[in-house]
Amino acid sequence: MSGPAYWGIAGYPIAHSLTPRLFTIVGEKLGIDAQCIFVEADSMSEFEANIEQLDGDLWLSCTAPLKHSPQARLGVDGPEGVNAINQLKRKDGVWSGTSTDGVGFVAACRHIGIEPNGSTLRMRGGGSAARAIAAAWAAEGGRIIPSEGRRALLSGPWDEAIVESGNATLAIDLDAAAGGGDSIQLEAEQQVSISYGDDWRIDEFAVIMVAAQHLEAWKHLYAPEKAANLPILSLLLEKLSSFN
């Protein structure tokens, strides 16, 4: 298949992002090439201005603060309850998108030996990543203990998975700042973070998750017809280590 003219990352801050490297690795495996780009934008208006001169198809992973705006401005719907996207695709001038935060989190958990079904996740935060993770975790049979953060976890398709207390298998502070920000310690058997910095390692959960959600983006949005040919997560991480 032919690839897009451009692929990369959009949002702010994004200088630390591994996404362009992941596009290159997966593209090489599938025989697809494109120009890697960093679209720095702290608003949807700035995003649209920065891509105005980019002709052709475009694949972008989106981070804050662009996860909500594309729905109204580009006519892209996020998953039910999540109401946000983190992956965008422009093909022949038409935009589509999805959220892979949740399914990427679940895949990363399985990679480190944690099965959501029957497990309890203590989660701080209520933003787009929190809602995506809650939806995916609940869909896989997991329980969730919300912990107070900057924003509450609102009602959604995860409601039946919510429990008020109990022993948590896993914890995550989704209010930790991007780029390797510190997490508040939460009570659980194990705590992970989805924030990585410049000194990242491939055994960090945050790096495992960003690689996992990138594979999910190829599978569900960018090139679903190539899903069977995608590298497995462990191989993608191994290839990524050569960039560090």
| DSSP-derived 3-state class of residue 173 | strand
93, burial (CB in 10 Å: exposed 0-12, middle 13-18, buried 19+): exposed
For residue 129, give both structure tokens. 């990543």
Question: 101-111 and 128-139 helices cross at what angle (nearest 10)?
Answer: 60
Q: Which residues of 117-140 are buried (b: 16+ CB within 10 A; e: fewer)?
A: eebbbbbbbbbbbbbbbbbbbbeb
Beta bridge partners of 96: 89
Q: Is 219 a catalytic residue?
A: no
The answer to whether 57 and 92 have CB atoms below 8 angstroms apart is yes
| DSSP-derived 3-state class of residue 149 | coil
Q: Is the dihedral of CA 73, 77, 83, 86 positive or negative?
A: negative
Q: Which of 67, 89, 219, 239 is catalytic?
A: 67
H/E element holding 9?
A: strand 6-11
Residue 176 CA to residue 140 CA, distance in Å, equals 25
Which among 67, 25, 24 has a CA at the least distance from the CA of 43? 67
Catalytically active residues, by annotation? 67
